[in-house]
Structure 1
Amino acid sequence: MVLSDRPAERHREIGRVFTDRVRGTRSWDVSSPVAEWTARDVVRHLTEWFPSFLASGSGIQLPAGPSVDDDPVGAWQTQCDAVQALLDDPATADLVLSNRHIGEVPLGRAIDQFYTADVFMHTWDLARATGQDDRLDSDFCAELLAGMEPIEQVMRSSGQYGARVPVKDDADAQTKMLGFIGRDPNWTPR
């Protein structure tokens, strides 16, 4: 994956789009393209894994927001705002995140590579589940795909990605990226 030299700006834009989809969600209990997940579970995933990843690797504790069960919009907004503040704060520019799987990585790069990219991919899940605009930035889709393909075995062995869904060779970048991460680009809600 091509990392941004401006992780705060990329998070701001990707977070804004995901926030729009969160705010546009009318039913949190609809199925999502991720097997056995609802729209609420998409937000739950993002608000549950990242705070512990950040805390264990950097000691940074994000402020706790409301429960995703009680207020998925508030839970997401609290986290999105806290991550943006962290990325915008000049005092955190030299911080490092340490993780046994990835080693020591500058904090902004770690957030960009692992979290912001995850938010980007899950934007499609939430949008598709809730009938909203599910178009993603095609250039970033192509960048992600190009970065993930060489490490496919590592990614698949993590258990975080489903089996690749075959797509046509001439498919657009979004379709190819979705198929790679185990999404059926033709999925529709039940």
Structure 2
Amino acid sequence: ARTVGLMVLGDLTVHAWDLARATGGDFVPERSVLDEVGPGLAAMAPQAREMKVFGEPFPVPEGATAFERLLAVTGRDPGWTPGGTAGATGT
């Protein structure tokens, strides 16, 4: 049950960022959410990539925030904007 809960919370967290960014906004989850979701998504990432659910990890700088690292593990560019001014198109 915990794994399914982490998958759902991770999905909601990442897609909330997707929607916020796509509409010109921003979204940063609570630290407690990141503490729960981050390690779980990182552990599931290899299998998610095999299933084509996640893209390849996006490179982030050493000083990246926990949320930037979480987005990157799913294949997203944390700097993505709708105008396409970041380093990659994201997923």
1:153 to 46, 66, 85: 46
**Is the 8 Å Cα contact of residues 68 and 78 (structure 2) preserved in structure 1?**
yes
More strand by share: 1
TM-score, length-scaled by structure 2 = 0.75
Alpha-carbon distance, 1:145 to partner: 2.0
Match of 1:135 in 2: 28
Structure 2 residue 77 is the aligned partner of structure 1 residue 181: no
Q: Deviations over 1:54-89 (max 9, x none)?
A: xxxxxxxxxxxxxxxxxxxxxxxxxxxxxxxxxxxx
The correspondence of residues 22-101 of structure 1 with structure 2, limited to 5 A, is: none
Letter in 1 for 2:18: D
Match of 2:89 in 1: none
SS in structure 2 of the partner of residue 168 of structure 1: coil
Relative to 1, partners in 2 of residues 1:119 and 1:189: Cα closer, same or farther, differing over 3 Å?
Answer: same
TM-score, length-scaled by structure 1 = 0.39
How far, CA to CA, are the matches of 2:26 and 2:61 in structure 1? Answer: 22
**Is the 8 Å Cα contact of residues 145 and 177 (structure 1) preserved in structure 2?**
yes
RMSD value over aligned CA atoms?
Answer: 2.0
How far, CA to CA, are the matches of 2:3 and 2:41 in structure 1? Answer: 15
Alpha-carbon distance, 1:118 to partner: 0.8
Letter in 1 for 2:14: M
Alpha-carbon distance, 1:144 to partner: 1.8
Match of 1:123 in 2: 16
Q: Identify which range, 146-155 or 172-181, moves more after superposition.
A: 146-155
**Is the 8 Å Cα contact of residues 165 and 182 (structure 1) preserved in structure 2?**
yes
SS in structure 1 of the partner of residue 25 of structure 2: coil
**Is the radius of gyration larger for structure 1 or structure 2?**
1
Provide the aligned length of Structure 1 versus Structure 2: 83
SS in structure 2 of the partner of residue 146 of structure 1: helix
**Is the 8 Å Cα contact of residues 145 and 180 (structure 1) preserved in structure 2?**
no
Percent identity over the alignment is: 34
